[in-house]
């Protein structure tokens, strides 16, 4: 994965839309891009833009006081911008980012009214999702991906805790640290929730016991209520099943009448359908049958007329041909006649010279043919002698046959029309019979419907009685109501069979038992309701305790798995970084020694207290055990210390190093991290500003070496660094306070090409 494009609009001094393109790796080496320009032209704003789009929230690192400070504020020659927009485009063909896109564009946009949004390939996304995605690709705004002005030195002077976050990125465990941090927050929140639930249980339990005692004092009512329920079941059961039997009889009668009405409806429907069918068929036959016959009759007549017209036209053509043959004849001119006669005479004279009989016959035949032609041309042809066109003659004969056939069809059509008239009379007679039968069925159906309506009224009256009885049973028996209405406990009633106890006897007994319950005393429904609510809440909270403890166990398991992954990857990478740090340190200083040391929380400060809650003595030991387990899972390594001793010196404290030594130490550390765990790209903002000329060349050599591992974008003033660059971007600022961009591809310049804007 590598960075392909940076697009800026409205960010700080880049008011107009500006785009920086970066060359792809070639032969395993990423081209170095250098950004140069005078002080104050806005070069560092490019690094701030990259840091900002990666999700940086610290305005201090972005060199601002308010969030709107990153939006172009305007100048004398240009109005202020309404928003700031920065986009980074990555080539993700190797799917370093775990996302199904070969090109990924991350966009951050801030409006002047304070609204902001993050976009991933044009779709709105959450910052946390983008940060996790970037962390999985080893990119982050707080990591070594963007090292701004003063940040090289800041690595050394920062606290051990701040260096820990930096080294989490460096060792490639940031994505696991993010997940672990979220899991620890969840674990602590769950512990706090568990403490609160335990306190609530401790408060509720005494009240629940008190309510239970109050309810238990009313249990003496059970015997009376039991007897009352038995008599009520017998009483209401007798009433119910008497009504059910009576209702069943009426329903059976109603169903029989309803079936008869339905049968009558079915017969009427069939008769109506037949009537409609005959009406439609008669209408259709009138519309289609007679009309079709008449239409066919006229069509045959038209066909006969057409054939006769064609026959007449052909005969006319033949006669006209004969007339034209006579009118076209013209006699031969006299000179032509004389010429032909002379030729015949010459032929006759020539016969004398012939010596054989065969030649003589041949000559005579020729003269005869010539004489016949001459005679034919001298006589006017008669009409009978003119031969007619054989095609026309044949067509006339064919038309004669067709006309004879058509005339036969005309006779058949006339006969069909006569037959239709006879059939129509028969259909009308049957139609009238069907209508009479339909009227009789309608009268019968009305009689059945009246009988059914009378029974339906009785049925409705019984159903209303049943509904009222159902409400009374539900009010009095409540949950026992279904046992009365669903199972028959009394025998089916008939004229010769009576129940053992009549309802007239049971009703006074019910009234007596109810009065006795009133004397005992009623149950306060609020107490019962409060008891039920309290018991439900207690049971719910008790279940929540079980769920919370299970959630704590599951979260601890996740944290342990993440710790194992972090430890395995971190230890291996940290050792390599330490070795590379010492190598680059000696390369830059020409000797000396250095090391990285992990620091525990005990070495930095005392443990902060865990959240405490009044446990009321309930589950205190269990909560203490959980609390201790959470403490055990706090990060043991919370900081990183850096020790550096230049050659010829014995000091180890970083604050005793000079400015140049601190810069070289920081560069060595950053170079070591890049060599062990290179990110897709690194932005260096004037990190070589404090170096002398000799160290600048060493730094440029390190850049050239590390370019095999990562893509560098360097903001610099040093020529040695520029010489190693493949592409130069120049940043200038006009009188309007807007940064402009110039680009030069050094490979093209070397080849004789010109710079392009």
Confidence of residue 284 (pLDDT cuts 50, 70, 90): low
DSSP codes of every residue in 146-196: EE-TTHHHHHHHS-HHHHHHHHHHHTT-HHHHHHHHHHHHHHHHHHHHHHH
What mean pLDDT is predicted for residues 256-277? 79
Instruction: Label residue 40 left, alpha or beta by phi (over 0 means left) and psi (-120 to 50 means alpha).
Output: left
pLDDT value of residue 729: 92
Three-class DSSP category at 638: strand
Crossing angle for the helix pair 503-520 and 222-284, nearest 10 degrees?
130
Q: Look at residue 273 and tell me whether its pLDDT is greater than 60.
A: yes
Confidence of residue 219 (pLDDT cuts 50, 70, 90): low
Strand 593-600 to strand 637-645: parallel, antiparallel, or no bridges (unpaired)?
A: antiparallel
**CA–CA distances in Å: residue 47 to residues 42, 321, 640, 686, 732:** 10, 106, 26, 10, 16
**Alpha helices in 590-677, H assignment, sequence order:** 601-604, 620-632, 659-676
Among 70, 78, 80, residue whose Cα is nearest residue 114:
70
Mean pLDDT (the chain, rounded):
78
pLDDT value of residue 4: 93
Identify any residues that bridge with 640 across adjacent strands, giving them in sequence order: 598
pLDDT value of residue 606: 47
- What are the tens digits of pLDDT across the range 698-711? 888 888 888 888 88
Contact between 700 and 721 under an 8 Å Cβ cutoff? The reply is: yes
Q: Look at residue 680 and tell me whether its pLDDT is greater than 70.
A: yes
Q: Look at residue 39 and tell me whether its pLDDT is greater than 60.
A: yes
- Distance CA(28)–CA(485), nearest Å, equals 87
- Measured between its terminal Cα atoms, the distance across the chain in Å is 27
pLDDT value of residue 123: 92
- What are the tens digits of pLDDT across the range 606-651? 444 444 443 333 445 667 777 777 766 666 567 788 888 888 877 6
Give me 632's structure tokens. Answer: 């055990």
- What are the tens digits of pLDDT across the range 355-375? 777 777 788 888 887 787 777
Q: Look at residue 757 and tell me whether its pLDDT is greater than 50.
A: no
**Alpha helices in 11-116, H assignment, sequence order:** 43-53
- Distance CA(753)–CA(744), nearest Å, equals 10
What mean pLDDT is predicted for residues 186-203? 84
Residue % of the chain over a pLDDT of 70: 78
CB atoms inside a 10 Å sphere around CB 693: 9
Higher pLDDT, 336 or 182: 182
Per the document, the length of the chain is: 757
* Segment among 79-88, 229-238, 267-276 with least mean pLDDT: 267-276
pLDDT value of residue 457: 78
Higher pLDDT, 282 or 104: 104
Give me 614's structure tokens. Answer: 């009044």
Q: Look at residue 737 and tell me whether its pLDDT is greater than 50.
A: yes
Give me 282's structure tokens. Answer: 């008669």
pLDDT value of residue 326: 52
Best-predicted range by mean pLDDT among 38-52, 186-200, 306-320, 511-525? Answer: 38-52
pTM: 0.47
Confidence of residue 714 (pLDDT cuts 50, 70, 90): very high
Higher pLDDT, 149 or 597: 597
Q: Look at residue 12 and tell me whether its pLDDT is greater than 70.
A: yes
Q: Look at residue 498 and tell me whether its pLDDT is greater than 50.
A: no
What mean pLDDT is predicted for residues 504-529? 74
DSSP codes of every residue in 569-602: HHHHHHHHHHHHHHHHHHHHHSS-EEEEEEEEHH
Contact between 35 and 715 under an 8 Å Cβ cutoff? The reply is: yes
Q: Name the burial class of residue 5, with classes exposed (0-12), middle (13-18) and buried (19+) by CB atoms within 10 angstroms of its CB.
A: middle
Q: Look at residue 494 and tell me whether its pLDDT is greater than 50.
A: no
What mean pLDDT is predicted for residues 189-207? 84
What mean pLDDT is predicted for residues 332-352? 77
Confidence of residue 536 (pLDDT cuts 50, 70, 90): confident
pLDDT value of residue 731: 92
Give me 748's structure tokens. Answer: 């093209």
Residue partners of 177: CB distance under 8 A and separation at least 6: 168, 566
CB atoms inside a 10 Å sphere around CB 735: 9
- Distance CA(719)–CA(146), nearest Å, equals 21
Three-class DSSP category at 747: helix
Residue % of the chain over a pLDDT of 90: 9
- Distance CA(114)–CA(127), nearest Å, equals 16
What mean pLDDT is predicted for residues 705-719? 88
What mean pLDDT is predicted for residues 38-52? 89
* Segment among 19-33, 598-612, 709-723 with least mean pLDDT: 598-612
Instruction: Label residue 102 left, alpha or beta by phi (over 0 means left) and psi (-120 to 50 means alpha).
Output: alpha
What mean pLDDT is predicted for residues 430-447? 72
CA 168, chain centre distance (Å):
37
pLDDT value of residue 625: 76
HSE value, Cβ hemisphere, 13 Å, CA-based, for 361: 3
């Amino acid at each position: 994965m590598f960075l392909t494009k940076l697009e800026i609009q409205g960010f700080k001094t880049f008011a107009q839309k500006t785009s920086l393109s970066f060359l792809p790796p070639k032969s395993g080496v990423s081209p170095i891009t250098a950004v140069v320009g005078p002080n104050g032209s806005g070069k560092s704003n490019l690094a701030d833009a990259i840091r900002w789009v990666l999700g940086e929230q610290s305005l201090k690192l972005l060199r601002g006081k308010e969030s709107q400070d990153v939006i172009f504020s305007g100048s004398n020659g240009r109005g202020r911008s309404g928003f700031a927009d920065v986009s980074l485009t990555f080539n993700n063909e190797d799917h370093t980012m775990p996302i199904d896109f070969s090109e990924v564009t991350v966009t951050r946009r801030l409006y002047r009214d304070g609204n902001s949004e993050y976009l991933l390939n044009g779709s709105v996304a959450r910052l946390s999702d983008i940060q996790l995605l970037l962390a999985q690709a080893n990119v982050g705004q707080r990591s070594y991906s963007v090292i701004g002005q003063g940040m090289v030195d800041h690595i050394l002077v920062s606290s051990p805790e701040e260096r820990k976050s930096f080294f989490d990125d460096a060792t490639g465990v940031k994505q696991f640290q993010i997940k672990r941090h979220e899991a620890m927050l969840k674990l602590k929140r769950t512990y706090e929730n568990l403490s609160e639930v335990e306190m609530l249980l401790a408060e509720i339990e005494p009240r629940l016991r008190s309510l239970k005692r109050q309810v238990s004092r009313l249990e003496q009512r059970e015997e009376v209520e039991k007897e009352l329920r038995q008599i009520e079941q017998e009483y209401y059961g007798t009433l119910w099943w008497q009504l059910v039997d009576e209702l069943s009889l009426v329903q059976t009668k109603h169903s029989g009448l309803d079936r008869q009405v339905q049968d009558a409806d079915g017969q009427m429907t069939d008769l109506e359908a037949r009537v409609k069918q005959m009406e439609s068929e008669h209408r259709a036959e009138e519309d289609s049958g007679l009309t079709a016959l008449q239409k066919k009759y006229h069509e045959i007549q038209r066909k006969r007329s057409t054939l006769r017209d064609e026959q007449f036209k052909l005969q006319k053509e033949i006669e006209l041909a004969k007339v034209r043959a006579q009118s076209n004849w013209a006699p031969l001119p006299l000179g032509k006649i004389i010429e032909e006669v002379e030729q015949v005479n010459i032929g006759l004279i020539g016969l004398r010279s012939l010596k054989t009989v065969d030649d003589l016959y041949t000559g005579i035949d020729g003269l005869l043919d010539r004489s016949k032609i001459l005679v034919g041309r001298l006589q006017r042809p008669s009409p009978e002698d003119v031969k007619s066109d054989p095609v026309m003659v044949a067509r006339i004969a064919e038309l004669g046959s067709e006309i004879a056939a058509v005339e036969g069809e005309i006779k058949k059509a006339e006969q069909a029309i006569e037959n239709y008239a006879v059939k129509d009379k028969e259909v009308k007679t049957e139609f009238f019979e069907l209508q009479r039968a339909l009227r009789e069925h309608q009268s019968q159906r009305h009689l059945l419907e009246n009988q059914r309506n009378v029974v339906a009224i009785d049925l409705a009256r019984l159903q209303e009685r049943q509904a009222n009885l159902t409400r009374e049973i539900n009010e009095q028996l409540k949950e026992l109501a279904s046992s009365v209405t669903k199972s028959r406990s009394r025998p089916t009633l008939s004229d010769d069979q009576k129940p053992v106890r009549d309802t007239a006897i049971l009703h006074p007994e019910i009234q007596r038992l109810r009065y006795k319950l009133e004397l005992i005393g009623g149950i306060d429904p609020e107490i019962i309701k409060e008891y039920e609510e309290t018991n439900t809440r207690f049971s719910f909270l008790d279940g929540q305790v079980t769920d919370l403890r299970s959630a704590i166990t599951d979260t601890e398991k996740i944290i342990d798995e993440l710790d194992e992954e972090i430890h395995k990857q971190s230890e291996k990478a940290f050792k390599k970084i330490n070795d590379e740090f010492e190598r680059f340190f000696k390369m830059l200083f020409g000797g000396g020694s250095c090391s990285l040391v992990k620091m525990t929380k005990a070495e930095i400060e005392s443990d902060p207290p865990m959240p405490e809650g009044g446990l009321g003595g309930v589950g205190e030991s269990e909560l203490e055990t959980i609390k201790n387990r959470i403490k055990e899972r706090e990060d043991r390594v919370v900081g990183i210390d850096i020790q550096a001793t230049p050659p010829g010196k014995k000091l180890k404290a970083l604050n005793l190093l000079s400015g140049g030594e601190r810069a070289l130490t920081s560069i060595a550390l950053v170079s070591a991290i890049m060599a062990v765990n290179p990110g897709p790209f690194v932005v260096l903002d004037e990190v070589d500003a404090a170096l002398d000329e000799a160290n600048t060349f060493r730094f440029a050599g390190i850049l050239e070496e590390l370019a095999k591992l990562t893509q560098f974008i360097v903001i610099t003033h040093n020529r040695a660094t520029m010489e190693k660059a493949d592409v130069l971007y120049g940043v200038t600022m006009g009188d309007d306070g807007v940064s402009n961009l110039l680009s030069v591809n050094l490979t093209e310049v070397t080849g004789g090409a010109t710079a392009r804007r």
